Homo-oligomer: A and B are copies of this chain.
């Protein structure tokens, strides 16, 4: 049994979708705030930074870092076919784009929404936000170029990296305008978002 500390609107979403795709049992713990049903304080005993997602593996190991959790889970349940095996030539691209999303696209969103992590200003700092808005377009362009022939990151083959990728456009202030610039990405998101796993996760809030 896995336990996933999650919060709506965070990267725990992709982990939750993957857990549904893998068909494994897991407990969802909503991390709301200090006074919520499941307190942030409880999570902080496991992970002092209180980040979501935090995954507790069946052996009790505490995992953070959404990309690491995605790689870990997909490899741990090879029967579901969510990741190319180590000997598969598609493995290189799979890992490359999984980590690219974490170190580039994800980071750009942090620069757009959490500038207080980078400059000592309590309010949002527009110069960082504006540059990040440009950077993220360049990053999605890189991905768009990689989605040829598509429709998935690994061509015909759906995998965990598609779940991770399809999460990010929705974080944008203008997701539809963003996706209209990137037809291959748009198609990928539409295809991924039609999966039953997504409906199940969204029904849970």
Are A127 and B131 interface neighbours, CB within 8 A?
A: no
Give which listed residue, B61, B87, B132, contacts A89 with CB less than 8 A. B61
A contact patch SS: helix
> Is B61 a contact partner of A99 (Cβ separation < 8 A)?
no
Q: Is A95 an interface residue (CB 8 A)?
A: yes
Say whether A117 contacts B100, CB under 8 Å. no
Contact yes or no, A64 B100, CB < 8 A: yes
Which residues of chain B come closer than 8 Å to A205, judged between CB atoms?
Answer: none
Q: Is A76 an interface residue (CB 8 A)?
A: yes
Interface residues of A, CB < 8 Å — how many?
Answer: 45
Whether A9 sits at the interface, judged by CB under 8 Å, is no
Number of identical monomers bound together in the oligomeric complex:
2
Q: Does A120 contact B (CB under 8 A)?
A: yes
Identity of the chain B residue whose Cβ is nearest the Cβ of A116 in the assembled complex: B131
Q: Determine the residue in chain B with the shortest Cβ distance to A135.
A: B117
Within A48-68, the residues touching B (CB, 8 Å) are: 48-49, 55, 57, 59, 61, 63-65, 67-68
Whether A67 contacts B119 in the complex (CB less than 8 A), given A75-B86, A76-B91, comes out as no
Query: A96 at the A/B interface (Cβ < 8 Å)?
Result: yes
> Which residues of B have CB within 8 Å of A142?
48-49
Residues of B within 8 A of A130 (CB): 120
Output the least CB separation between A37 and chain B (Å): 27
Say whether A107 contacts B103, CB under 8 Å. yes
Name the B residues within 8 Å of A131 (CB-CB): 117-120
Distance in angstroms between the alpha carbons of A72 and B87 in the assembled complex: 10
Per-residue CB contact flags for chain A residues 126-144 toward chain B (1 = under 8 Å, else 0) read: 0110111001000000100
Please name all residues of chain B whose beta carbon is closer than 8 Å to the beta carbon of A78 when the two chains form the complex. 86
A106 contacts partner chain B, Cβ-Cβ < 8 Å? yes
